[in-house]
Amino acid sequence: MQMRKIKWGIIGCGDVTEVKSGPAFNKVKNSELVAVMRRDGEKARDYASRHNVPKWYADAGQLIHDPDVNAIYIATPPSSHEEYTMAAFDAGKPVYVEKPMSVDAASAGEWLKPPKKKN
């Protein structure tokens, strides 16, 4: 059985992804960096060009809903981790978060509760 390729999208392609995590996604077997996102579109385009990434976005929602992206790496400041993590989960995509997914335990705990049943 052949393993499915992980096609990564990075949200927040800043300094931490330049030399560590970004290039690593293309060095791991069955892994490929296919899209990046940064709020500054010109910086996202530049990053994609320098790292040979086929797609770039200035909007996280577009990257999250890109059908070519099947896993998401979040490397933004911690204050936005929860928002992007839950948006990716809601889109059915696994997430790798650079730091904790939430700014405090109470907030993170809200996401561990089972969903409320609809009546």
Question: Which pLDDT score is estimated for 101?
Answer: 59
Domain ranges in the chain are 6-110
Q: Which CATH superfamily is domain 6-110 in?
A: NAD(P)-binding Rossmann-like Domain (3.40.50.720)
Dihedrals phi, psi of 52, to nearest 5 degrees = 55, 45
For position 98, what pLDDT does the model report? Answer: 74
Secondary element (H or E) of residue 33: strand 31-37
pLDDT in tens, the chain (119 residues): 566 899 999 999 988 899 888 889 999 999 999 999 999 999 999 999 999 999 999 999 999 999 999 999 999 987 888 899 999 999 999 999 876 656 666 766 665 665 555 55
